[in-house]
């Protein structure tokens, strides 16, 4: 009897160990109690896609429908002068990011749907500009994806700077799964890297490749709507929407192929398969993947004494299930997941502000501040 019990004990230990090696087996659980609540800071917003905090504590907010809003002293003011925004499907006015030296140069970067260029429809574009009063001025067009299309899917897009001052931004595959992501001569399904003035860094991975898009830094992506610099390592982390299953977290590396759609943990929305492999030589496997998909959007590392029990965690918004997910990561493996603020709404963005507090953009609600219960 003892030998039988020992045998089953070994089997159970092995099963548990093996399950922990598969990211999809880490289930998201609702904590019994959290020490934080939410407070609406900016009310009555529709789809607050991006936000940035200015040195005076005011907030710039991008509404997907094309409005750029400045929130200051409890007032919302629309900034005029933005280029025409092509709003279709998932596309519109997308992310906003301050230059790391904004205090001295006033540059602000935006990604948005643009109909400029050849063909009908639109593609993701990147500009930088300054604000003078309530007007956008000194607009500089830095990059525009080629191959306009009327498809509404997969525009991306997030913006981030690394520790060396390089600018990264994402464009989704624009609904052309079988062509764009794996072709470095085409835009879409890529992470791009530029100098802050829009010029191409000399050490970009494909600058010497004939006909390649020289701004590409990595490829084989589906629809990255989260991008953040790791506060300790300086690495650029992204997440992207999978199809039905297979949302991913990736650490972006120079010139690497992240596999879409050749490798994936997902299937078609119809339930049929489009690939039967999840790994292939020369393609990067994700650090983590979600099955079922949570439809991730926005991400932030917690690096603040305001949240001592969350420090080091990665926060990701869920559009599909309407909660904020906290992932605890050790040695580049997700070891625990938690569901926070369930049923509050579709979390479109999450940001750690200069004041050390977390702010989230929630569709149909606005910008909420995450505060300790004792606040």
Residues marked as catalytic: 154
Strand partners, 93: 112
Pairing of strands 358-362, 347-352: antiparallel
The SS3 call for residue 115 is coil
Residue 260 CA, distance from chain mean position? 17
Measured CA to CA, the distance from residue 363 to residue 262 in angstroms comes to 33
What totals of helices (H) and strands (E) does the chain contain, helices first?
2, 25
- Three-state secondary-structure class, residue 368: strand
Q: Token match 């039988």: residue?
A: 4
What b-and-e string marks burial along 34-43, b requiring 16 or more CB atoms within 10 Å of the CB?
bebebeebbe
Rounded (10°) CA dihedral 117, 122, 124, 128: 60
Q: Which residues of 115-124 are buried (b: 16+ CB within 10 A; e: fewer)?
A: beeeeebbbb
- Distance CA(59)–CA(184), nearest Å, equals 36
341 and 358 Cβ atoms separated by less than 8 Å:
no
DSSP letter for each residue of 82-96 = PPPP--BTTBSEEEE
């Amino acid at each position: 009897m003892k030998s039988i019990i020992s045998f089953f004990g070994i089997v159970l230990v092995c099963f548990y160990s093996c399950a922990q090696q598969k990211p999809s087996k880490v289930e998201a659980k609702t904590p019994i109690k959290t020490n934080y609540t939410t407070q609406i800071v900016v009310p009555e917003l529709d789809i607050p896609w991006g936000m940035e905090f200015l040195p005076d504590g005011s907030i710039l907010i991008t509404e997907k429908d094309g409005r750029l809003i400045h929130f200051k002293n409890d007032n919302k003011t629309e900034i005029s002068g933005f280029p025409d925004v092509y709003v279709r499907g998932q596309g519109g006015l997308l992310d906003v990011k301050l230059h790391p030296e904004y205090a001295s140069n006033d540059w602000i970067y935006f990604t948005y749907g643009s109909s400029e260029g050849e063909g009908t429809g639109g593609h993701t574009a990147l500009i930088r500009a300054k604000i003078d009063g309530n007007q956008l001025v000194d607009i500089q067009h830095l990059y525009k994806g080629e191959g306009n299309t009327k498809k509404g899917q997969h525009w991306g897009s997030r913006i981030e700077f690394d520790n060396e001052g390089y600018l990264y931004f994402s464009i989704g595959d624009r609904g052309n799964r079988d062509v764009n992501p794996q072709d470095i001569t085409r835009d879409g399904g890529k992470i791009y890297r530029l100098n802050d003035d829009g010029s191409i860094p000399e050490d970009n991975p494909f600058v010497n490749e004939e006909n390649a898009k020289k701004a590409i830094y990595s490829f084989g992506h589906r629809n990255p709507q989260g991008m953040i610099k790791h506060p300790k390592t300086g690495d650029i982390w992204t997440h992207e929407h999978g199809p039905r299953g297979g949302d991913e977290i990736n650490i972006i590396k120079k010139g690497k192929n992240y596999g879409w759609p050749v490798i994936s943990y997902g299937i078609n929305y119809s339930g049929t398969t489009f690939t039967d492999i999840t790994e292939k030589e020369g393609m990067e496997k994700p650090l983590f993947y979600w099955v079922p998909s949570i439809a991730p959007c926005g991400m932030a590392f917690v690096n603040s004494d305001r949240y001592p029990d969350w420090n080091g965690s990665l926060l990701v918004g869920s559009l599909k299930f309407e909660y904020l997910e906290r992932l605890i990561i050790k040695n580049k493996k997700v070891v625990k997941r938690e569901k926070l603020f369930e049923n509050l709404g579709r979390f479109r963005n999450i940001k750690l502000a200069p004041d050390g507090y977390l702010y989230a953009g929630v569709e149909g609600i606005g910008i909420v501040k995450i505060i300790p219960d004792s606040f």
